Every structure is written in C-alpha cells, then in structure tokens.
Amino acid sequence: MSRIDDELSDELKTLRAEGLFRQLRCIDSPQSPRVNMAGRPFLNFSSNDYLGLANHPLLKEAAIKAIERFGAGAGASRLVSGSLAPHHELEESLAAFKGVEAALCFSTGYTAALGAITALVGKGDILILDKLVHASIVDAARLSGATLRVFTHNDLGSLEKKLQWAVSHAEKSANRKARVLIVTESLFSMDGDLAPLRNLADLKDKYGAWLMLDEAHASGLYGERRRGLAEEFGVANRIEIQMGTLGKALGSAGGYIAGSRPLIELLINRARSFIFSTAPVPSAAAAATAAIGVVRSAEGEHLRQRLWTVVEQVKRGLVDAGYVLPPVRSAIIPLILGNEQNATVAADLLHKRGLFLPAIRFPTVPRGKARLRLTVSATHTAADISELIAALAELKQRS
C-alpha cells in the first residue's frame, strides 16, 4: 500500500470508531416509497421526493422528449453555447410559479447558493447566517470573503444584535457601499422547523439589509399557490433573493435563484458556478418544467393534501408510541437520538426490518445531536405507514 493509502486508512478507522463512517447503498429501482437494494425490497422513508414526482409519468415523458429533441448533453456553459430552449422554458416557468420577474437555473441547489452568494457579497461586506443553514450556504459564505456572523437558530434577538454590529462595522469600499446580507432557510432541512419569516423581513428592513431565503424543502408544499413559505407568510415580495432546488418536491435535478431582473442579469454576469460550468442537461430542465406544471395543477394541490394526511397519520402513530415531536406541519420528522452510535444502531435495526431510514450524524448535524431523519411522501400508503409505526414503536421499547 502506498503512503497515501496508509494515511487515509487511518483517517477512515477514526471515522468508524466515532460512528461517523458513511457508505453508499446502491438502489436498483426508481426513487419511490418502495425501493430495491441488493435484491431486497425496502420501505423508503429517506427521500426528499415529497410529492412523488421523481418517478411521475409526466416528468419522465418530458425528459424523454427533451432527449429526443435536444440530445443527452448540454455541450457547454450557458454563456458559451449551452443555453438551450429547455433552460429558457424552465426559467419562464419558475418565474411565473414564484411570481417574480425572473429566475436563473443552476446544475444543483448547492451551486446556486455558491454562485449567488459569492456574486452578491465579498470583502468588506457582511453576511449573517442562521446557525443551522445548509452546508451549501456555509461553503458559499466562506468562499465569498465577506465578514461572517452567525445568529442563534431562529432567534430574532440574536439576529438583531448581529445586525446592529453589522451596521456599525460595514466598511465602505472604493466603488460601492458595503452590503449586509442575511441568509436563512424557510424550512430547516434536518429539524423540519420554520423560520419566523415576517419578523425576519421586518428586521432586515429596519437595518437596511438584504434577505436571501432558501426554500429547498418548502417550494411546492406551502402557500396558496404552493410557492413556498414566503408565500404562506405573505412576505415573498419583500425577499430580495429566493433560492431553491429542483431536486426535492420538484422531483428532478437542479437549483435556482428567483427575483428581480437586475438580480438575475447580475448573476449571469458574476456567478462563477453558473459561468464556469456546463449547463444542466436538457432532460433535467424539461422534467423540472413538467414538475412545475404538475405542482401548479389541481393534481399538485391533491398531492399536497395527501402529503399532509400522511404526515398527520405518521405523527399521531409516533406520539402514541412515545416519541416527542416538533409541533410543526412538515414532511421532515426528526427522531433525535443524540449519540452517533445509537443512531447508527437504530438505523441498522430498521434496515434489518426492511426499512430505509438513514442515521444523520455529524457533520450534517452537530455532534451529540444524531438522529433518524424520517421523511414522508404523498405516495406512501396506509400499509406503508403502519409498517413504519410498528417498527419505530418496537425501537422505542428497546431504548
């Protein structure tokens, strides 16, 4: 073995000892409530495909047609030669869906965060993040060179202190005044709780800051037109930068930024993850456009209602089994177990019973806050739910 392998093997050993080792599991079927792994069927409670669109016939048909008309690859970056009709159609659909002037699609939500944040703030500017924002936002913040401040999760008092500090410390640079940008999520990905959006919007206005809101887990699920929690709380037109992914409730792949036309034009010119990366494949863009069509239709409303029914049934069963759950309506239901090893053991036990429900550990969540992250879909059946509740009740009795 070479020296690199020796050294890396030691590092892997440490990860194993800490209960932090991760492994890929090959799924040999479409993403849906029931998946096949290594020839065995599993009940899947781990996906972010909340509306069951990843395997929806209309999305598949749109993807296939796009391949037939536009081919498999995009060929280049959008600014070079890869700006295909499916990307433009997707952006028009996104802007209409979100009720904004314009939108820009990226290959992933991760690169949307990276591109947008580094384009909007840099040295001399101040970025204020919620403690629990997604890794894509944390990575973008570090890369941006802006001064970074973190407020206690969903704590308005803590945020206001950071804003007061920011207003007195924002440096004036030669060509423009310093920016203060707050970035948070509307529905938090590992805890399933909601940000106090109205108060956040009031605070950012009071201090003249900008607000970027990541709706990765909320778009398609909340608000009268299913635009997200910004719509549900009536603050969408006060948020400067709306972000999301096409890979969760929208069942496809990609990320987006939505907002004003100047914002989008600036990103086309400055977002490096957009400029220096091959455009999304046409089939992914077309599938996402079809997904927006489904979400906006009567079927989209039906799927959302069905999802909330499943959520209520699962939560009732878990409370009856002795679990303590957060009091919000969310398709993400965290079962906090604390210790990393406990979470891994629980996930393995469920795996033996044919349930796929992963242990989420550091660094995705803080050390000592390991959990089973249970997510449900509109396409889970009553039988699926009963099986889940029975397995989790048994797990609770063992602990």
Ligand X SMILES: *Cc1c(COP(=O)(O)O)cnc(C)c1O
Judged by CB under 6 A, which stretch of 25-33, 156-164, 212-220, 228-236 contacts ligand X? Answer: 212-220
Q: Token pair of 172, please?
A: 């004036």
Using the minimum distance from each CB to ligand X, give the nearer residue, 52 or 109: 109
Q: Least distance (Å) from ligand X to the CB of residue 114?
A: 10
Listed residue (270, 292, 203, 269) closest to 239, CA to CA: 203
Residue 57 DSSP SS3: helix
Q: Token pair of 159, please?
A: 């945020």
Judged by CB under 6 A, which stretch of 22-30, 64-72, 103-111, 141-149 contacts ligand X? Answer: 103-111
Catalytic, 217? Answer: yes
358 makes contact with ligand X (CB under 6 A): no
Q: Which of 47, 107, 189, 219 is catalytic?
A: 189
Q: Which of 56, 87, 134, 217 is catalytic?
A: 217
CB-CB contact of 180 with 125 (8 Å)? yes
Using the minimum distance from each CB to ligand X, give the nearer residue, 118 or 384: 118
Q: Least distance (Å) from ligand X to the CB of residue 322?
A: 29
Residues 6 or more apart whose Cβ sits within 8 Å of residue 102: 91, 95, 258, 259, 260, 261, 263, 264, 265
Using the minimum distance from each CB to ligand X, give the nearer residue, 146 or 216: 216
Judged by CB under 6 A, which stretch of 108-116, 141-149, 160-168, 356-364 contacts ligand X? Answer: 108-116
Q: Least distance (Å) from ligand X to the CB of residue 373?
A: 11
Return the HEC string of 265-308.
HHHHHHCHHHHCCCCCCHHHHHHHHHHHHHHHCHHHHHHHHHHH
Site string for ligand X, 171-200 (x = CB under 6 A): --------------x---x-----------
Among residues 42, 50, 110, 274, the one that binds ligand X under rule CB under 6 A: 110
134 makes contact with ligand X (CB under 6 A): yes
334 makes contact with ligand X (CB under 6 A): no
Using the minimum distance from each CB to ligand X, give the nearer residue, 30 or 41: 30
Among residues 82, 223, 255, 300, the one that binds ligand X under rule CB under 6 A: 255
216 makes contact with ligand X (CB under 6 A): yes
Using the minimum distance from each CB to ligand X, give the nearer residue, 190 or 321: 190
Listed residue (252, 310, 229) closest to 105, CA to CA: 252
Site size for ligand X (CB under 6 A): 14
Sheet with 126-130: strands ordered across = 102-106, 255-259, 241-245, 210-214, 180-185, 126-130, 147-151
Q: List, in sequence order, the alpha helices (H) in 185-339.
A: 197-206, 229-232, 261-270, 272-275, 282-296, 298-320
Output Rg (C-alpha) for the chain, integer angstroms. Answer: 22
78 makes contact with ligand X (CB under 6 A): no
Between CA 155 and CA 266 the distance in angstroms is 31
Among residues 33, 52, 220, 247, the one that binds ligand X under rule CB under 6 A: 247
Q: Which of 56, 248, 315, 380 is catalytic?
A: 248
Using the minimum distance from each CB to ligand X, give the nearer residue, 189 or 379: 189
Between CA 239 and CA 395 the distance in angstroms is 43
Among residues 33, 86, 109, 280, the one that binds ligand X under rule CB under 6 A: 109
Judged by CB under 6 A, which stretch of 14-22, 61-69, 106-114, 224-232 contacts ligand X? Answer: 106-114
Listed residue (104, 364, 120, 96) closest to 254, CA to CA: 104
CB-CB contact of 79 with 265 (8 Å)? no
Q: Where are the beta strands (DSSP E) in the chain?
A: 34-37, 40-44, 102-106, 126-130, 147-151, 180-185, 210-214, 241-245, 255-259, 332-338, 355-356, 359-360, 370-375
**Which amino acid belongs to residue 282?**
P
Listed residue (310, 382, 340) closest to 50, CA to CA: 310
Using the minimum distance from each CB to ligand X, give the nearer residue, 82 or 192: 192
Among residues 108, 118, 154, 375, the one that binds ligand X under rule CB under 6 A: 108
Binding site for ligand X (CB under 6 A): 108-110, 113, 134, 136, 185, 189, 214, 216-217, 245, 247, 255
Residues with a catalytic annotation lie at: 189, 217, 248
